[in-house]
Chains A and B, each alone.
Chain A
Amino acid sequence: MFHWLEKNPFFFAVGVFVVIAYAGVVTVLPDFMNSARPVVGTKPYTVLQLAGRHVYIKDSCNACHSQLIRPFKSETDRYGMYSLSGEYAYDRPFLWGSKRTGPDLMRVGNYRTTDWHEHHMLDPLSVVPGSIMPSYKHMFSNVADVETAYAEALTVKKVFNVPYDEKGMPKLGTYDEATKMALAEAKPIVDDMKNPEVKEAFARGEIKEIVAIIAYLNSLK
């Protein structure tokens, strides 16, 4: 039997496949329903926050910052309450990261402000002496892609039944409504900021990447 397998490439390949696929079937599949249930109070991202999340992904913030607080006293002291599975129910993709070159950001919205982020993104050293984080100046000139963020929100609503437009949940509406809401949401952030270029652009109806990413970071609680 064994030798037969060794000279029949097709059945050999099938055998290898069964052996390697087996672990995935047992470990990965069964828990899908269980951990997908959101914790009470967890809400999907608004369109502006989602646009900010795209900026976060575009510049691979997750290469250096984790979003996963492990249940140790040293971590909860530093970053706040440890992470629960249901808190990630609307995270597509997950952004746990694998390296903490910089601190964890899971609950950064609890202890940093718009003003802090604005200065820090422009010149990290001015806020945190000794920081090795690069400046992300280009976020002040690039325009956030609200359209793609809206497309993503609509997609997850339609395909995965993410509860947009439901009671107590963020409103999505049509694309026109969504852009108006994004502008309204961006307004207080822009008001808190000092950069004239960002303010001018906003007066023209443009949302810069920095505004979107601050909206996202402020929402992490």
Chain B
Amino acid sequence: MQSSNMINYDYSVAKCFAIATIVFGIVGMAIGVLIAFQMAYPELNYLAGEYSTFGRLRPLHTDAVIFGFILSGVWSTWYYIGQRVLKVSMAESPFLMFMGKLHFWLYIVGVAVVVVTLFMGITTSKEYAEFEWPIDIVIVLIWVIWGMGIFGLIGIRREKTLYISIWYFIATFLGVAMLYLFNNMAVPTYFVAGLGKWYHSVSMYAGTNDAMVQWWYGHNAVAFVFTVPIIAMVYYFLPKESGQPVFSYKLSLLSFWGLMFVYLWAGGHHLLYSTVPDWVQTMGSIFSVVLILPSWGSAINMLLTMKGEWGQLKSNPLIKFMILASTFYMFSTIEGPIQAIKSVNALAHFTDWIPGHVHDGTLGWVGFMIIASLLHMAPRMFKREIYSKKLLEAQFWIQTTGIVLYFSSMWIAGITQGMMWRAADQYGNLAYSFIDTVNVLHPYYTIRGVGGLLYLVGFFMFSYNFYKTMTASKAIEEEPQSASPMAA
């Protein structure tokens, strides 16, 4: 035992971000459900004049879930895991405490500004990088503060070697920093021309170059927000919740370097058959397939961690969430490479199969991991047991059904549309007008909307469960070593 006299881990920042995760999750997903139904029932575009049209809401949905829900989740778990595996409390450093709180509040301000500007239609049009330069500066500031928090905490650690989750958090920090900076290079027009809107800017890159930089960013933002930090979570929470050490720590290290190296090459697969050079396209395609190896390395490592302990899958819903998340990770990391094969991409690109693919990764893998992580943290942060196991079980099945409806309908929709676009009659003329290919999708858009709605309902159940755990659940005396305590 250590001589530390009554130091405790300080979760105040982790709690703030956990609540932000839930709030932004609800907002982002609710907008998502609305725009999903707008595609089936266009009348829903007119709820609030120009501010509720699909065009304005779509960037708001993607940014709210990526930079609101997911990033808050990442940060909440960082401020929890970071202390624990480095065996140092934030309370030991007033400076780090201050930086943590500054990080949170600056982030909240940033989000508020983003919401307002996106409703107003102030956007650069680049996907997941829609923010104009003043917001970019705030984002860079937030990122630097987080980085200081990471390396500050590492600087005062008691554990000499960095646990694999910390590796992944560091990679998230560096990767996003590099990608974001390069993709958002722009010249503010007001400072050159002296007139026009002060916040307007024009991209440093033109045309094909802009596309290459954007998808180098877009693809890898997916890597460093949807994959890397979520792997950090699973490497901590699954072993901890199940009480089983990682199946092979060596494999986890290897997969890390493999993923870091390979992921960045694959961005070209977003631009197959476009005007970027052929070799970039081919390279993107090949590396996408190679990417299966490190991705499955991590996923298999997770599944094998449960070796001999599969009974827990039945008794502990959190394990169920995490194992299904790992399974969805395997699923979407095989689906992605398939879509990156040139001939498949010719059919799938621009269709609904792409959002389908994104969502089985985000809803299944990212969403489930964040939900399970937050619920694992709750009893330890609030010293109360999880409010309801029954509710959690019900949520699991409702959300899983939602995901299945979502991706199955989008598969069918995507492939149908892709086939109809290229279908020719016996004389070689196009068989369908464009609107034919839209109208045929109506039932699938409706099913997708229902799938999304089920997921949202499940998320509300989670939020209620979390809130009750926070406020009204039975107190626990001692921190549980592994499985999180929950009331029936």
Contact = CB atoms under 8 A, between A and B. Distances in A.
Chain A directly contacts chain B within the complex, with at least one CB pair under 8 Å: yes
Interface of A: 6-7, 9-10, 12-13, 16-17, 19-24, 27-28, 31-32, 34-36, 57-64, 66, 68, 70-72, 74-75, 77-78, 83-85, 87-103, 128-138, 142, 145, 147-152, 154-156, 158-160, 175
A129 B123 CA distance: 31
B488 to A, nearest CB: 43
B193 A151 contact: yes
A36 B206 contact: yes
Range for the number of chain B residues in contact with chain A: 35 or more
Contact of A60 (B56, B194, B265, B434): B56
B394 interface: no
A29 to B, nearest CB: 10
Nearest to A97: B350
Contacts of A149: 196
B211 A62 contact: no
B125 A62 contact: yes
A71 B342 CA distance: 13
A141 B414 CA distance: 36
A97 B59 CA distance: 13
Interface string B260-282: 11011101101001111100100
Contacts of A133: 42
B174 A59 contact: no
B49 interface: yes
A96 B127 CA distance: 11
Contact of B277 (A31, A66, A94): A31
B344 interface: no
B207 A36 contact: yes
A71 B424 CA distance: 16
A106 B187 CA distance: 26
Contact of A99 (B187, B200, B355): B355
A92 B206 contact: yes
Contact of A19 (B42, B210, B260, B270): B260
Given A20-B263, A58-B123, A93-B126, 19 more contacts: A24-B178, A31-B212, A31-B276, A58-B122, A60-B56, A72-B422, A74-B422, A74-B430, A78-B421, A85-B275, A89-B206, A93-B125, A98-B350, A100-B350, A102-B434, A132-B42, A134-B46, A152-B196, A159-B187
Given A77-B429, A85-B208, A7 B160 contact: yes
B346 A9 contact: no
Interface string B345-377: 010011110110000000000000000000000
A99 B174 contact: no
B59 A63 contact: yes
B53 A147 contact: no
Nearest to A3: B161
Contacts of A74: 421-424, 430
15 contacts: A27-B283, A35-B209, A57-B124, A62-B125, A72-B273, A87-B207, A88-B206, A94-B214, A132-B38, A135-B46, A147-B197, A149-B196, A151-B195, A152-B200, A159-B192
B202 A27 contact: no
Contact of B275 (A24, A83, A151): A83
Nearest to B58: A63
Contacts of A130: 435, 438-439
Contact of A101 (B39, B122, B439): B39
B261 A155 contact: no
Contacts of A150: 193, 195-196
Contacts of B434: 78, 102-103
Closest 9 pairs between A and B when the two form their complex, measured CB to CB = A88-B207, A151-B196, A134-B45, A23-B264, A148-B196, A58-B121, A151-B193, A85-B275, A138-B50
A131 B438 contact: yes
B55 interface: yes
A16 B126 contact: no
Interface of B: 38-40, 42, 45-46, 49-50, 53-56, 58-59, 121-127, 151, 154-155, 160-162, 167, 170-171, 174-175, 178, 182, 187, 189-190, 192-197, 200, 202-203, 205-214, 216, 220, 257, 260-261, 263-265, 267-268, 270, 273-277, 280, 283, 346, 349-352, 354-355, 421-424, 429-430, 434-435, 438-439
Given A78-B421, A91-B206, A13 B53 contact: no
Contacts of A129: 435
Nearest to A63: B58
Nearest to B190: A151
B38 A155 contact: no
A60 B55 contact: yes
A68 B274 contact: yes
A17 B174 contact: yes
B189 A95 contact: no
Given A7-B160, A98-B350, A155 B202 contact: yes
A28 to B, nearest CB: 5
Contact of A92 (B193, B202, B351, B422): B202
- The winner among A19, A60, A129, A175 for most chain B CB atoms within 10 A is A60
Nearest to A104: B350
A35 B438 contact: no
Nearest to B171: A16
Contact of A63 (B55, B154, B346, B351): B55
B178 A17 contact: yes
Nearest to B42: A132
Given A24-B216, A136-B53, A148-B196, A96 B274 contact: yes
A163 to B, nearest CB: 13
B189 A155 contact: yes
B170 A12 contact: yes
A100 B178 CA distance: 30
Given A20-B175, A88-B206, A35 B277 contact: yes
Given A12-B170, A19-B261, A22-B264, A94 B208 contact: yes
A32 B207 CA distance: 10
A101 B438 contact: yes
A166 B260 CA distance: 47
A47 to B, nearest CB: 11
Contacts of A128: 435
Contacts of A135: 45-46
